[in-house]
Amino acid sequence: MTEQTALINGEIDAVISPRDRGLAYGDGVFRTLRCQAGRVLAWPRQYARLQADCERLGMACPDEALWLADLARLAPWDASIKLMVTRGVAARGYACAPDAPPTRLVLAGPLPAYPEALYRDGAAIRLCDWLLPIQPGLAGVKHLNRLDQVMARREWSDPAIFEGLMRNARGELVEGVMSNLYLLQDGCLLTHPLTDCGVAGVMREMVLQLATELGLPIVLRSFDADVMLGAEAVLLSNSLAGVVPVGRCGQRLWQDFSLAAQFNHRINSLCREESHLCLPV
Amino acid sequence: MTEQTALINGEIDAVISPRDRGLAYGDGVFRTLRCQAGRVLAWPRQYARLQADCERLGMACPDEALWLADLARLAPWDASIKLMVTRGVAARGYACAPDAPPTRLVLAGPLPAYPEALYRDGAAIRLCDWLLPIQPGLAGVKHLNRLDQVMARREWSDPAIFEGLMRNARGELVEGVMSNLYLLQDGCLLTHPLTDCGVAGVMREMVLQLATELGLPIVLRSFDADVMLGAEAVLLSNSLAGVVPVGRCGQRLWQDFSLAAQFNHRINSLCREESHLCLPV
């Protein structure tokens, strides 16, 4: 598994057209998946989200069988996998050709190496200055228009900082650049509703499902940085890292990381139960 | 000049990497240019904007000499040219590699055929429902995150409708999907200031410069659809079509298109004066 393994519309080492609408307009969606010992974790949820996001943009989503054939072709063992769908190749202009076939892209690469200390001692995070725009029309969708995340990520280069938190134009803390965000407060799990901005991750869906099983009431509401700094615990999640406890934000330190550990224990089981085994062809 | 002519980093028929950040995140900028009888119109302004937009995103902009060599290579006669710069090819994740070379793309294709009637009888336009988000950090920049334009353009398929006007979340009319927007009202030329959303086109810069020469005071302020419908004239502009007068929006008809004609007369001269002749290599 090299950094460069890519399948485009099922072809190894195929290329992206310079006229692909994914490049021209960011006209597409993606998902990031974790593959562990040959199993793509949480596959049914990942595919369901990909389909739902394509539908939000009015795009055709390639059939599940095509993706599974691609995954069998790549036969990843331990890998990070990125799936991408764009509205395909088109002539100049914003208008969509109604019958243009979508571009289907699968990229496989090594898993990022998250140190054990990240889970044991918690992550160091920062607040980003770059604001997320309010856009209910695209809220929740994991689309390819990610300049806001790029610009926010440019604010720091210190490798000790794991993540930057992003606020929207109303000053609400929404999510991290690459993760969803949760607070433990008064025995409840708070997270932004993501109805007018933000990305609804598959790991977020799992966290919310498991919170109920852990007896934690879920509160979907907005909160600002002061509420975050006053929370009993702060958690981040994404599909590659699972649930990451926050240990430090500026001068504020947290020390009890047991909730993240509980989540990860259950999420690992659930991810395996719901995984898809990539049998090599 | 076929639809498919593309130069990528100076190479004919080169390809876009599936790991290009332009595709992954829309992490780049573009310009659309009109080439007429071998001259790229308004070249110095187009290049200045491209540079300024790269700077806004903290990206390197390829030297002017490289673009001019590309244009000489393509030797377009009558053509629409798209220039694109992305932050290049990178490993997974939002963080930018500081020294990654940008991807430089030049696409050439035929000029769209605008019927004479468009300028003689005015364009039919509509109001889009899709809203532009407020994002001062990216306002004015012609970046590759264009899903809002894609979604707005999906609202109509009637070929008789030339353009759809877009409002922002405050209900202000900002621009068209593919053009800037101006009103003639009480002897002034009104246009949105584009300080918190919108794309600052090169043609807009020319229109504002020529308005002063035509004795028309410029008013940069926001306005809503009712103000637009009450205006004495409504104009659109972009680099391919020049200035297009609006003839109809729903039941509202306009009939005096002399202002657009005056602008086009002067813009044509100015564009030629400021053109770059593509001498074939």
Name the minimum distance, in Å, from the CA of A243 to any CA of chain B: 18
- Contacts across the A-B interface (CB distance below 8 Å): 167
Nearest CA in chain B to A168: B135
- Measured between beta carbons, the chain A residues lying within 8 angstroms of B107 are 18-19
Are the Cβ atoms of A169 and B23 closer than 8 angstroms?
no
Lowest mean pLDDT among A159-168, B41-50, B83-92: B83-92
Are the Cβ atoms of B146 and A94 closer than 8 angstroms?
yes
Contact indicator for B80, B35 with CB cutoff of 8 Å: yes
- Measured between beta carbons, the chain B residues lying within 8 angstroms of A159 are none
Confidence of residue B15 (pLDDT cuts 50, 70, 90): confident
Are the Cβ atoms of B30 and A24 closer than 8 angstroms?
yes
Which of A77, A109, A141 is the endpoint of a domain? Answer: A109
> Do B223 and B135 fall into the same domain?
yes
Q: Is the dihedral of CA B183, B186, B189, B194 positive or negative?
A: negative
Q: Please state, in angstroms and rounded to a whole number, the distance separating the CA atoms of residues A172 and A168.
A: 5
> Do B146 and B249 fall into the same domain?
yes
Nearest CA in chain A to B134: A133
Phi, psi of B62 (to 5 degrees): -55, 145
> Do A46 and A145 fall into the same domain?
no
Contact indicator for A100, A87 with CB cutoff of 8 Å: yes
Whether residue A205 is predicted with pLDDT greater than 60 in this model: the reply is yes
For residue B56, being part of any structural domain is answered with yes
Are the Cβ atoms of B25 and A144 closer than 8 angstroms?
yes
Lowest mean pLDDT among A46-60, A219-233, B3-17, B117-131: B3-17
CATH number at residue A122: 3.20.10.10
- Mean pLDDT value of segment B75-82: 92
Candidates A96, A134, A177; nearest CB to B133: A134
Whether residue A4 is predicted with pLDDT greater than 80 in this model: the reply is no
For residue B142, being part of any structural domain is answered with yes
- Mean pLDDT value of segment A265-274: 94
Whether residue B105 is predicted with pLDDT greater than 50 in this model: the reply is yes
Are the Cβ atoms of A146 and B17 closer than 8 angstroms?
no
Whether residue B233 is predicted with pLDDT greater than 70 in this model: the reply is yes
For residue A148, being part of any structural domain is answered with yes
Whether residue B18 is predicted with pLDDT greater than 60 in this model: the reply is yes
> Do B259 and B198 fall into the same domain?
yes
- Mean pLDDT value of segment B118-143: 98
- Mean pLDDT value of segment A221-234: 98
CATH number at residue B101: 3.30.470.10
* Mean pLDDT, chain B, integer: 95
> Do A158 and A243 fall into the same domain?
yes
Whether residue B4 is predicted with pLDDT greater than 90 in this model: the reply is no
Are the Cβ atoms of A82 and B92 closer than 8 angstroms?
yes
For residue A210, being part of any structural domain is answered with yes
For residue B280, being part of any structural domain is answered with no
> Do B49 and B181 fall into the same domain?
no
Which of B71, B92, B109 is the endpoint of a domain? Answer: B109
Q: Please state, in angstroms and rounded to a whole number, the distance separating the CA atoms of residues A276 and A34.
A: 11
> Do A216 and A138 fall into the same domain?
yes
Candidates A105, A147, A177; nearest CB to B18: A105
> Do B127 and B151 fall into the same domain?
yes
Number of domains in chain A: 2
Looking at residue A122, what is its pLDDT?
A: 98
Query: Which residues, at least 6 apart from A61, have a Cβ–Cβ distance to it below 8 Å?
Result: A50, A51, A54, A55, A85, A102
Which of A74, A109, A144 is the endpoint of a domain? Answer: A109
> Do B144 and B265 fall into the same domain?
yes
Looking at residue A211, what is its pLDDT?
A: 97
Whether residue A2 is predicted with pLDDT greater than 50 in this model: the reply is no
> Do B64 and B187 fall into the same domain?
no
- Measured between beta carbons, the chain B residues lying within 8 angstroms of A84 are 23-24
Q: Which domain holds residue A54?
A: 5-109
Whether residue A1 is predicted with pLDDT greater than 50 in this model: the reply is no
Are the Cβ atoms of B26 and A21 closer than 8 angstroms?
no
- Measured between beta carbons, the chain B residues lying within 8 angstroms of A92 are 80, 82, 109, 112
Residues of chain A with pLDDT > 90, as a percent, come to 90
Are the Cβ atoms of B91 and A109 closer than 8 angstroms?
yes
> Do B256 and B230 fall into the same domain?
yes
Looking at residue B1, what is its pLDDT?
A: 42
- Measured between beta carbons, the chain A residues lying within 8 angstroms of B94 are 146, 149-150, 152-153, 177-178
Confidence of residue B69 (pLDDT cuts 50, 70, 90): very high
Are the Cβ atoms of B134 and A137 closer than 8 angstroms?
no
**Higher per-residue pLDDT: B248 or B97:** B248
> Do B86 and B144 fall into the same domain?
no
* Mean pLDDT, chain A, integer: 95
Looking at residue B75, what is its pLDDT?
A: 84
- Mean pLDDT value of segment A114-129: 97
- Measured between beta carbons, the chain B residues lying within 8 angstroms of A94 are 146, 149-150, 152-153, 177-178
What's the burial of A114, exposed, middle or buried (CB within 10 Å: 0-12/13-18/19+)?
Answer: middle
